[in-house]
């Protein structure tokens, strides 16, 4: 299947995509991870993206569309897109030449998001990319691969609130867009990661 996960910052897109990858072997394509990797390597894309990500702003549509289109050419089926599309324009461009099977909308409110993101820690190893939360995991190395954990630059309270405003304005309209196409599956994402994954299995895989 070709899946998209849409949701606010901190709704658990990366966490759910990680579960889908581990259990079903899907390829996880996170545009945020691709941009952060470019920033680390100081590529031309990374140099342009760095100040935008630090302020919680989107990179230009043309840039991200180019990145994703090239990525999709390499991919076989059974993938999950995390963080793309995130504007109506990106959704329209994607639907012009890619058939998507389901769009999972992770529904959550801002108070939960804020608590999650200020406590998030990520594995620094790009092959692993495990996601943790200080509420449930309080070590500074990854329990899967042993690499150090880091805190993302955009997980500061003032940047989080800006990212949420941008989400409401730019990304939330995709919910209606995919509902109208009959592809949307809404999941209450305020529970635990396991509960979200169970809902996914029931509603999307049919297990
Ligand atoms: P991106 O990296 O995609 O960030 P985001 O959308 O803001 O989402 P996050 O990664 O912060 O949250 P998430 O939903 O993945 O939550 P997670 O699973 O980590 O994008 C970053 C930036 O790149 C954007 O701001 C933009 O600048 C740019 N960009 C990317 N794509 C773009 C595009 N298409 N167009 C333009 N610009 C683009 O979980 C969060 C925390 O909660 C973790 O600590 C986790 O352990 C915990 N958690 C997760 N699920 C649960 C649960 N069910 N219960 C309890 N805790 C949970
Ligand atoms: Mg993420």
The answer to whether the CB of 100 falls within 8 A of the CB of 94 is: yes
Residue nearest to atom 25 of ligand 1 (CA): 56
Q: Record the tokens describing residue 110, joined without a space.
A: 């801002």
Q: Which ligand is nearest to the CA of 17?
A: 1
DSSP 60: P
Angle between helical axes of 110-118 and 157-166 (0-180°, round to 10): 140
120-178 residue pLDDT tens: 999 999 999 999 999 999 999 999 999 999 999 999 999 999 999 999 999 999 999 99
Q: Quote the pLDDT of residue 92.
A: 98
Looking up tokens 């500061």, which residue turns up?
156
The atom of ligand 1 lying closest to the CA of 5 is 14
In this prediction the pTM is 0.95
DSSP annotation string for 93-136? HHHHH---SEEEEEE--HHHHHHHHHTEEEES-TTT--EEETTT
């Amino acid at each position: 299947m070709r899946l998209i996960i849409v949701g606010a910052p901190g709704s658990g897109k990366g966490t759910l995509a990680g579960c889908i990858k581990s259990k079903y072997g899907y390829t996880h394509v996170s545009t945020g991870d691709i941009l952060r990797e470019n920033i680390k390597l100081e590529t031309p894309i990374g140099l342009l993206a760095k100040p935008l990500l630090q302020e919680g702003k989107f990179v230009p549509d043309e840039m991200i569309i180019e990145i994703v289109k090239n990525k999709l050419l390499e991919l076989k089926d059974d993938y999950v897109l995390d963080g793309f599309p995130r504007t109506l324009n990106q959704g329209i461009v994607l639907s012009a030449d890619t058939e998507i099977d389901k769009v999972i909308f992770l529904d959550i409110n801002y108070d939960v998001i804020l608590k999650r993101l200020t406590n998030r820690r990520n594995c620094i190893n790009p092959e692993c990319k495990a996601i943790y939360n200080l509420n449930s995991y309080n070590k500074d190395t990854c329990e899967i691969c042993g690499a150090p954990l880091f805190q993302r630059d955009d997980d500061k309270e003032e940047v989080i609130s800006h990212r949420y405003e941008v989400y409401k304005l730019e990304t939330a309209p995709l919910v209606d867009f995919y509902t109208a196409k009959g592809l949307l599956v809404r999941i209450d994402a305020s529970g635990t990661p396991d509960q979200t994954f169970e809902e996914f299995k029931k509603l999307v895989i049919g297990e």
